[in-house]
Structure formats: structure tokens, C-alpha cells
Amino acid sequence: MRLEGKCAIVTGGGSGFGAGIAERFAAEGAQVMVADINAEAADRVANQIGGIAHGVNVADGNSVQAMADAAVEAWGRVDILVNNAGVTHVPAPMDEIPEEEFDRVFAVNCKSVYLTARALVPGMKARGAGAILNVASTAGVSPRPRLSWYNSSKGWMNTATRAMAIELAPEGVRVNAINPVAGDTPLLPSFLGEDTPEMRAKFLSTIPMGRFSTAQDMANAALYLCSDEASMVTGVCMQVDGGRCI
């Protein structure tokens, strides 16, 4: 029960890594809001873990504020925020990515971090406590070709994590990130371009441990970084990648 008494929001919690994090947080005693643009998926996960669901577009300020307001109404505060929601573009030469795809990637992966901070950091500062976890990617540490703007958005998340951490440390708010290698999640086909055994084998050959990330891998790392056990840890961008970035 390492999160007993904590209240947490997990964006993109309706599937993939987010669902795994939400499930683990609930098992460790947290009250969890599963927030996702797919409200049906959020409901499903929330029902499974005894949490609450909220439909949200993390790239829209009004929608994010409504999510924050709903959490505060339910619990009175938010102790933990996990910025997990993310999208990518299909692999292609950088100069061939449509502008609308570029805008979408940066709105969901980057602007969302600003919007959730704007909505939730004031309450954390007022209480002198809080933990924020940004789910970035090894793509932001060791970029892959043909995913240039996705790589860049995740590199932005790592820099934002450190910038947030140094500013908020005196306020008692910790900010960390995890950098997963790709997992068998709904985003995997987009990373691969085409989801075939050959493409999977090619991708796996770049991961020394020889397997994809799992939701449990991410949940374990997230649990530590968001728990009081990590009370002296802030500004860390932890690679959970089976050695890919070595």
C-alpha cells in the first residue's frame, strides 16, 4: 500500500501503459482518476480498479481544467499527476509529415504538460506537496529515423521535466519522467509503420534485452517515482528500455 491515501490522475489511462499505471496505483492504495479521450475505455479501466473515469482532450485547456475540477470536487486535492497521454505520426521523412500531424503531436505530447501544470500545480504548491510524472520515450533520448517530430516532442518532455523540477523543488513538488522503449500497445503499429512479424523482429533487434516494454514495467517505475520512497528524487528522466539507449 505504497500510495495509501494518495489521489492520482492518469491521463491516457484507458489503455496501454496508462492502464497499467492506473491499475498498479489503485492496487497500492491510491484513489485514481482514469482520464482518456476515449471515455468508454476510461470507464472500463476505472470500473476494473474501483476508480473514477473522466473523458478529456489533453490538448484543450477547457477540457483539462474540467478534468482537474472534477478530481478536486471528488477528493479535495490531487497528489499525483501522470502525464501519459501521447500520440505519434506514422514513420516518414521529416519533410513529408503534414503540418496538421506535426501540430497534433506537439499539442498532445507537449502542450498537454503545460495545460495540466496550469490546472494542477497551483493546488500542489498551496499544499507544499505533489508528484508529477511525465511519460516521455527513448525516442527523446536516442532518436529513430523517420520519427523526427515525435522524437522531438519527447525530447521536449524530458527538458520540460527538468525545468519543472528545478522550479518546483522549493515548493515541495517533485517532477520526474520515464523513458520507455516501445511496448505492445495501441501506438506500436504507428511506430512500426506496418505491424508485421518482420518489422517487430527488426525493432526488437535494437533492444538488448530482446523484448518490448510492458505496462507492468512502466507501472513499477511509475510507482517508485510517485511514491514517498522517492522523496529525494526529482528531475530524473529514467530509461526503462531494456538497454536500448546504452
Cβ of 116: how many Cβ atoms within 10 Å?
27
Gap between the Cα atoms of 25 and 231, Å rounded: 17
Q: Which of 150, 161, 185, 215 is catalytic?
A: 150
| Beta-sheet pairing, 130-135 with 173-180 | parallel
Gap between the Cα atoms of 115 and 218, Å rounded: 23
| Vertex 89: Cα angle to 84 and 91 (nearest 5) | 125
Is residue 114 flagged as an active site residue?
no
Quick one: how far is CA 75 from the chain centroid?
22
Residues paired with 32 in a beta bridge: 8
Active-site residue list: 150
